[in-house]
Amino acid sequence: MAQVVIVGAGPTGATMALLLIKRGIHVKLVEASRDFKRLFRGEGLMPSGLNALKQMGLLELLADVPHQSFDAWEFLLSGKLLFKVKEPIEPNGRPCTTVSQPHLLEAIIKQAETYSEFEFIPGEPVRDILRSEERVSGVKLGSGREITADLVIAADGRNSMIRKQAGLNLTQLQNNIDILWFKLDSSSWPKSENIFYSILQERDGFGLFRASEGQLHIGWGLHSDDNFDWRHIDWAEKLAATSPSWLAEYFRSHRETITQPLLLSVIVGRCDRWSIPGLLLLGDAVHPMSPIRAQGINMAFRDVIVAANYLVPWLNKSEIDLSQIDAVLPQIQQEREPEIIRIQQLQAQEIAQAEKLRNSTFLRWGAKTFTLIIRPGIRASWLRRQKQLRQGVTQVSLNI
């Protein structure tokens, strides 16, 4: 039976490990952090991600971890409702859901640890990859421990050390963005519905929603032409000035609960190659996504399903043929890459639409003045753009 080392115990690595060990394949999952309580983790599940979890037999885990479904999306321009869309958008579909990623990862690891084929190694950064006869043959940990493997899977995120060690170049796309991330108390939040708000006031804008653990989360987009220093302003007042009156009052009365902003410098890109002999990259390690519509975790789950389909038939043989394992690695890229390219294009289009409105005083004036007339058309246009971002571009089915 094959030995696989997976580097990174995020959504990609944890689910990949569980799929493999359930099929009798030995897996060592290495994670640099000692726990999953990072300052920021993507936690938005689109219907495509929820469907992937269902196929992997993990959807029922949501019942036991903090999660919140969206009830609607609202778009506000200059304090005025531009349009609203109720969830779920698709007939008989699933609503977009936020989940506590640390709790979900802990639940997956707990399930994996019931299998003798699994070893979890937390708090151990990988220092280097091992090579044997021009093939990756394992990893070397920071402690000096060496782990040999028939296959190494890098799931160590957008700043992947494994990607750099392997010499796989990431081509950055033009729509890299910076976001400031805030949290604040929601104990007296006046809205019973869980609505994702997109708010634009003149050239300033942010998104707001109630997350899985109950706090309000805010993502504020930074731009190179902003006329303020984000490190030295009164953010309670800045958010209030950008908001409709009911929300402005909430920010001012809860200013003491607003966290210091966390700067997220989001790199978007793709590797030309997802693999070299003995090594496969998946998820953000090979195609870091924009945060628009929370595609990172959803595409990662779909990567895992496709990778498992190709790998399991060769990894669970009694006699391992390394050449056959290496031969299927490019096929994983071939199947997944078209969807990743298309989703990144759709994310760029969403950003471009927002930037047009931000940069044009005339468009903002027209949208605000003629809201009742243009609302049906704008709403329909938005819904058309969301279909593939929500459901995915290609058919992804677990068949092993």
For residues 260 and 182, membership in a common domain is answered with: yes
In terms of domains, do 113 and 138 share one? yes
What pLDDT is attached to residue 40? 54
Indicate whether 165 and 216 sit together in one domain.
Answer: no
Same domain, 246 and 276: no
Residue 369: per-residue pLDDT? 94
Q: Are residues 158 and 282 in the same domain?
A: yes
> Within 10 Å of residue 145's Cβ, how many Cβ atoms?
12
Whether 140 and 236 share a structural domain: no
Distances, alpha carbon 42 to alpha carbons 39, 217, 295, in Å: 10, 12, 9
Q: Does one domain contain both 278 and 169?
A: yes
The answer to the question of residue 140 being in a domain is yes
CATH number, domain at 344?
3.50.50.60
Q: Are 201 and 243 in contact (CB under 8 A)?
A: yes
Residues 152 and 33 in one domain: yes
Is residue 200 within 8 A of residue 368, CB to CB? The reply is no
Q: Of the candidates 265, 292, 314, which is a domain's last residue?
A: 265
- The pLDDT of residue 175 is 64
Residues 294 and 283 in one domain: yes
Residue 371 three-state SS: helix
User: What is the structure's pLDDT at 177?
Assistant: 76
Burial of 216 (0-12, 13-18, 19+ CB in 10 A): buried
C-alpha separations of 97 from 63, 87, 290, 354, 397 in Å: 12, 10, 18, 23, 21
Clarify whether residues 210 and 301 are in a common domain. no
What residues of the chain score a pLDDT lower than 70?
Answer: 38-42, 175-176
Residue pLDDT, tens place only, 11-58: 999 999 999 999 999 999 999 998 877 655 668 999 999 999 999 999
φ and ψ of 389, to 5 deg: -65, -30
In a domain, 377, yes or no: no
> Is 123 within a domain?
yes
Instruction: Say what the pLDDT of residue 266 is.
Output: 83
Structural domain of residue 256, as residue ranges? 177-265
In a domain, 69, yes or no: no
Task: Note whether 391 and 52 are within 8 A (CB).
Answer: no
pLDDT at 27: 98
At which of 234, 265, 296 does a domain end? 265
Q: Would residue 96 count as lying in a domain?
A: no
252 shares its domain with 338: no
Q: Select from 204, 237, 265 the last residue of a domain.
A: 265
pLDDT (0 to 100) of residue 42 = 64
For residue 58, give the 3-state DSSP assignment: coil
Residue 213 resides in a domain: yes
